Amino acid sequence: MSEKGCNCNCAQNREEQFKELSPVLEQYAKVPGSLITILQKTQDIYGYLSKDAINYISEVTGIKPAKIYGVATFYAQFRLKPIGKYLIMLCQGTACHVNGSEMIEEAVCEYLEIKDGETTKDGIFTLNNVACLGCCSLAPVMMVKSAEGDETYGSLTKDSVKKILTEIRERA
């Protein structure tokens, strides 16, 4: 049955579903050029940009979903899929590359059985390669983001990265 034909109050349900997003949209929906800010704040709230969230933003702002998807897929900072409890951001910048970031990525991928952009089957880890974390003196380096905060680990080796991931998994 279509939304028009259902007996529920779908608009009210959607407003309830996105109540945390309402203050953001109240502040930015009518501000020209604020789509990136809206998407950043949406991702901060929900962890990623779901299809439902994009459609809701479209309804409230009047921006077509295709344009929102275009922006969300153009910028690497945006995610269209849920991420794990811990987001591993592995630096691939020049200093890290020269100091063995490819070897560290190989160790992470082998240990967690995932590739860049994937989440472990248990939903604990997601791996994202990033251009630079700005910690060049610690190369190779990774940052692990979670609800508890961000942790940065530097001077990584294959053994140290496996030890770090084991410790994180044990407290998860």
Binding residues are: 91, 96, 132, 136
- Sequence ranges of the binding site for [2Fe-2S] cluster: 91, 96, 132, 136
Terminal-to-terminal C-alpha distance of the chain: 42
3-state DSSP assignment of residue 150: strand
How crowded is residue 165: how many other Cβ atoms within 10 Å of its Cβ? 22
Three-class DSSP labels, 84-142? CCEEEEEECCHHHHHCCHHHHHHHHHHHHCCCCCCECCCCCEEEEEECCCCCHHHCCCE
Token pair in block for residue 47 = 């962890």
Which residues, including other chains, have CB under 8 Å from residue 131's CB and lie 6 or more apart?
A: 76, 91, 92, 93
Phi (first) and psi of residue 24, to 5 degrees: -65, -45
